[in-house]
A and B are shown apart, each in its own frame.
Chain A
């Protein structure tokens, strides 16, 4: 092997490594806007909670991305800041009025997201044990039938 070939070889190996690393990353995850879906994992992201006075209710929002190959079910939600946490949903009645009701367990098909968002499904943080003000944070723990318990810290903020 001549001198030129010897000097090119490390460069080619480096390029090949970078390309292979890139391909591997692509196969394990995909980026979509702010969210990062990790294939093979169930991920929680984009979480936040509303302010609320002690004794009153607040709401938490997030996206749950089921990147696993199995259906999973959100069984329950807990947080130290509230006496009770439940999944509720707001809905519009035929006469245009709005109401809220418990939404129960949430089944998330493999490869799908569950989006908890204002005006729709949300985590009801009921009877707050302390005031939640902008700048505070809330730790929530979600229990799933397959992946078990997952936790997320929700910053408290006012919706824009």
Chain B
């Protein structure tokens, strides 16, 4: 084989390897790098989402605390991802309420305590307009459903909502989404490792 042929083979091999690597890496689903949503955490501290979480990987989901069944399953799954990760350094766990009318910072704080979520978890709420903008950006559905007997302005409602966990990289790009209540934690962890590599 001539020197030129060897160089060509080497170049093609490197290019093919790079191609394979890019295939393994999750694509960007939503780019939040140029967006900013002013939210509040459980201490009512202002949080600039997602900028305040930059440079780390974030696992993000959306819930409401009056949801007694599916949302706690999602929270349990978030918790299981955390437990099954060998190294949780550089990872944020973020739960954002899509029910800001009822989920005040103090309500989120109570939920966080009752579900034994540690300080690696951040729970966020905010003004309805800011939450709505964020939901629209990442295509999260969250609609109030009133029982037949309740007036439309009542606080007695459940919600029809999306069921996703998002994986966001350190540059605030959503790189993967999963069915939140049923995804096996190891599938999320595998993608986290890919992003870390």
Contacts and interface: CB of A to CB of B under 8 A. Distances in A.
A122 B68 CA distance: 9
A159 B69 contact: no
B76 A159 contact: yes
A90 B76 contact: no
A88 B80 contact: no
Interface in A33-64: 50-53, 56-59
Nearest to B107: A53
A51 B79 CA distance: 15
Q: Is the interface of A mostly helix, strand, loop or mixed?
A: loop
Interface residues of B, number: 29
Contacts, number: 83
Contact of B161 (A88, A97, A102): A97
B66 interface: yes
B115 A51 contact: yes
Interface in A81-132: 88, 90, 92-93, 95-100, 102, 118-119, 122, 124-125, 131-132
Nearest to A124: B68
Given A119-B70, A119-B181, 11 more contacts: A50-B68, A57-B67, A57-B68, A97-B160, A98-B181, A99-B159, A99-B161, A118-B69, A134-B114, A158-B115, A158-B116
Across the A-B interface, give the 9 residue pairs with the lowest CB-CB distance, nearest first. Answer: A51-B114, A59-B68, A57-B68, A159-B76, A99-B160, A53-B110, A90-B69, A59-B69, A98-B163
Interface of B: 65-70, 72-73, 76, 79-80, 107, 110-111, 114-116, 141, 145, 147, 158-163, 179, 181-182
